[in-house]
Amino acid sequence: MTDTPTLELDLDEIQADFTHCFTGECRVNVLPILHKIGHVSTRNADLSALLAIILEVMQQPLKMHRGMVMLYDRHSDTIGIHDSFGLTEEEKGRGIYAPGEGVTGKVVETGKAIVVPRLNESLDFLDRTRAHAERGSANASFICVPIMRAEKVLGTLCAERIYMSRRLLDQDVKLLATIASMIAPVVELYLLENIDKVRLENENRRLKNALKRRFKPSNIIGNSKPMQQVYEHIRKVAGTRATVLILGESGVGKELVASAIHYNSPYAEGPFVKSNCAAFPENLVESELFGHEKGSFTGAIATHKGCFEQANGGTIFLDEVGELSLANQAKLLRVLQERSFKRIGGINPVRVELRIITATNRNLIEMVENGTFREDLYYRLNVFCITLPPLRERGSDVITLADHYVNRFAAENGKSVKRIATPALNMLMSYHWPGNVRELENVIESAVILSDDGVIHSYDLPPSIQTSHESGTTNALTLEDKLRAVEYEMIVEALKNNNGNVGETAKELGLTRRMLGIRMQRHRISYKTFRTRVTDALD
């Protein structure tokens, strides 16, 4: 096996070589065909038309037994036969290689042509197609040249035939290299527009399906009765094109519900654009929502597409819609009515087809009565309303969510936190959660970081949850109260771990049985509570 030198070809030298005839074969006759290939490649970027010409040239004037055009898929890191002659469809399907694998793989890996003068003398020729094993071509030579563009290997052009003259073999190597360099731009365009495009479309579809699974209603955590009603509303409205208004306190998960509606809707294949109306300065709201033309105001150095235009064909989610000024409310109303708008400084209207989902923690009815929210806009937005319950009204969902966050943040922080201690659970359940799910998420993340023994204890929770002001209890916790609470929790946890065995519990806590008994009596703790009954075990 030998490598050809770097192919910096001298056309005069090639033409001189081609004018020599051996065994009745004159390569000068191929020059008009090269001209035709060049003409087709510059006028028409159709790879199929080019390959039809090339394979015909290889099969007839060049008298090749087999010819293959192989393309390199960088994403899957595989090289496959794109078009060929002399191979059956079954043989073509078997011709798949990795870079560095076999002759073809080495050409792709090195970017250099390889010539095998005798197939039966090459250890690198793998015969992956098994064409030679079935029909035999031991005396044939194999030529494989890279198809390259800007030093990037796109594939290979390979041929096989029996040569009686080494000079003719060398000429065909140069000829195939010339053809490969001529078709490289068309091959690159084909890979970009077809293989890469198809892969990107497939990847986009895969990600959207993943998002759809992630945001489907059954994956929103919580099984309380108020949430079951929310799930039912999502299920009913998602398949429609209706405008949806989501109401609820800050932190209850309005964006998550909007996502669930979008990814289970007729607009799921389109974009999902989120915009927080309270996050923009008053003078920039119109530009952010509806866009502007270049030069329409100071600082408008380029045309900007607003959120509505970006969401065309999908869903726009306007959070905190109650924060819009009356002037911007009027512009939003116009879009809802006409499904068109003009960019700032624009002349032509921009039409959009999308779904509008809005959310707010404000009391819009009260704002309408006060004159701070347009009544006509309210009724336009309130086609279908979903009200999310605050966390304090969701009962045991607090524990379900807390367990979920423990597992999530333990994995993210590389900690082996497994559970929440009973006193800490009681605190979580009794707290009124003004920040709702968002606050609970932050509390559990902090507690996971503070935990040292794989358990979240009450003293791992933030002080705000343990004070009378925040938790709604009547008496403030003194230092003595805090120490008693910690002692109570440690005794309860140890009794649980030891199935109510007082001796083992005392040993774990570093106490004598008598000292533990006194403390249990002080806290009115009975070891019998922690004994597992046989019937319980059977249940």
Q: Cα angle vertex 144, ends 138, 146, to 5°?
A: 170
- Contact between 98 and 78 (Cβ < 8 Å): yes
Domain ranges of the chain: 2-195, 217-389
217-389 folds as Rossmann fold (3.40.50)
8-state DSSP, 73: E
Q: pTM surpassing 0.85?
A: no
DSSP lists the bridge partners of residue 157 as 69, 145
Helices H / strands E in the chain, number of each: 24, 18
3-state secondary structure of 248: coil
3-state secondary structure of 68: strand
* Residues in the chain, overall count: 539
- Contact between 215 and 221 (Cβ < 8 Å): no
The domain covering 2-195 belongs, at the CATH homologous superfamily level, to: GAF domain (3.30.450.40)
Rounded Cα distance, 492 and 516, in Å: 11
Tens place of pLDDT per residue across the chain (539 aa): 444 333 344 444 444 444 455 445 666 666 776 777 776 666 666 788 888 888 888 888 888 888 999 999 887 778 888 899 988 887 887 788 888 888 988 999 999 999 988 887 777 787 778 777 555 556 788 899 999 998 899 999 999 988 888 888 888 898 899 889 888 988 888 888 887 776 776 677 667 766 666 666 666 888 888 998 999 999 999 999 999 999 999 999 999 999 999 988 999 889 999 999 988 888 788 888 888 888 777 777 788 888 999 999 999 999 999 999 998 899 899 888 888 888 888 888 889 999 999 999 999 999 999 999 999 999 999 999 999 999 999 988 898 899 999 999 999 988 889 889 888 888 898 888 999 999 999 999 999 999 988 899 888 898 878 754 444 444 445 677 677 777 887 888 888 888 889 899 999 889 999 899 888 888 878 887 777 543 333 33
Other C-beta atoms lying within 10 Å of the C-beta of residue 417: 23
The one-letter code for the residue type at 78 is: T
